[in-house]
Amino acid sequence: MNMQTIFPKKLKPGDTIRIIAPSQSMAIISQQTQKFANRILKNFGFKVTFGKHVNETDKMQSSSVKSRLDDLHEAFADPTVKGIFTAIGGYNCNQLLDYINWDIINKNPKIFCGYSDITALNNAIFTKTGLTTYSGPHYSTFGRKHDNKYTEEYFRNCLMTDSPYEIKASKRWDDRKWYIDQEDRTSYTNKGPVVINKGQAEGTIIGDNLGTLGLLKGTEYFPDLTHSILFLEDCDSSAHPVEFDRNLQALIQQPNFDKVRCIVIGRFEKAAKMSKEMLTYIIKTKKELTKIPVIANVDFGHTDPKITFPIGGAVSIVAEDNNTRITITKH
């Protein structure tokens, strides 16, 4: 990590935030969900604004590269905008990377937050500019009517304060399709983090969605793994044991993986059929992981609720059976 890390200014009530759609179009988000999201973000004290092209929709339920770039560049260049949030994830924001004007981002560092497909942008921005970005809720995530307080708490901890914060496990979790039925309250007891390999570590957070991070392999946008702590999660069929196993193996084969200090794995959806025993087997069969701590079942990824954490920020890890602590020390 040779480039100097830049930490953007924190958000505060009264700040203007901008919603952009660098992946799928905001048009796929229901009006009801948007109404809830607007209300929650205004409760934080933010003035919510939108990119000019967020509702454009093409055959891929996205919009042109030019439209998405225009909104990205304008959001960073606008001095009144203090934070940029992605509308929703998808599959194609890596189309933008070769065309981004990195100088605009360099000259206008500010909070940029999203997850899933946005992993490509988060890690590319950090790699090319040194600007810390954030894996956290989309605009659409705030459209969840029930059981979102934990998500809101960690959003505030990370993006509205400078203080270190410890990641405490949520009491319950779910992977319900709340955007279809807001009154479905199905949830499960959260048993907390699972220690697969014991140990302690400190380092720089890299990662988020494993499959999307893999799209950057072999490009100038893939982050340096030196002294890193990898936060990894995956979704749907990509998180099935055989897919997760080979995607993790491909990451292990990247330059400087031997300098990775720890792996923190986000919670899997039920559909992934990833048991504690299977995940332990996958980790234990990889000799490259035997000497570093590995923790699983942490509150991030494609289940709810979820934390917000900094890509490029610093974290301290203690992985012991009865004393597991994950503390974000700089964000």
State the average pLDDT over residues 214-239. 94
Q: State the residue for tokens 């979704």.
A: 235
State the average pLDDT over residues 232-256. 93
The string of DSSP codes covering 311-327 is: ET-EEEEEE-TT--EEE
- Burial (CB count within 10 angstroms: exposed 0-12, middle 13-18, buried 19+), residue 11: buried
Q: Give the model confidence (pLDDT) of 138-191 as tens digits.
A: 999 999 999 999 999 999 999 999 999 999 999 999 999 999 999 999 999 999
d(CA 312, CA 122) in angstroms, rounded, equals 9
Q: State the residue for tokens 């993006």.
A: 159
pTM: 0.97
H helix count then E strand count, the chain? 8, 16
The string of DSSP codes covering 105-127 is: HHHS--EEEE-GGGHHHHHHHHH
pLDDT at 238 over 80: no
CATH 3.50.30.60 for domain 165-330, yes or no, is yes
Q: What percentage of the chain carries pLDDT values higher than 90? A: 97
Contact 263, 295 (CB under 8 A): yes
Q: Which residues pair with 202 in a beta bridge?
A: 316
Which member of 23, 25, 67, 116 is catalytic? 116
User: Average pLDDT of the chain?
Assistant: 97
The string of DSSP codes covering 57-82 is: --TTSS--HHHHHHHHHHHHH-TTEE
Contact 167, 328 (CB under 8 A): yes
What are the domain boundaries of the chain?
16-159, 165-330
State the average pLDDT over residues 213-227. 98
End-to-end alpha carbon distance in the chain: 16
Whether residue 79 has a cis bond before it, omega within 30° of 0:
no
Q: Give the model confidence (pLDDT) of 24-53 as tens digits.
A: 999 999 999 999 999 999 999 999 999 999
Is 302 an annotated catalytic residue?
yes
pLDDT, position 115: 98
Contact 131, 8 (CB under 8 A): yes
The CATH number corresponding to 16-159 among 3.40.50.10740, 3.40.50.1860, 1.10.150.20, 3.40.50.150 equals 3.40.50.10740
State the average pLDDT over residues 305-320. 98
SS3 55: coil
Which member of 53, 138, 302, 331 is catalytic? 302
pLDDT at 213 over 60: yes
Region for residue 292 given its phi and psi (left: phi exceeds 0; alpha: psi -120 to 50; beta: otherwise): beta
Q: Give the model confidence (pLDDT) of 89-127 as tens digits.
A: 999 999 999 999 999 999 999 999 999 999 999 999 999
pLDDT at 237 over 80: no
pLDDT, position 2: 56
d(CA 75, CA 116) in angstroms, rounded, equals 20
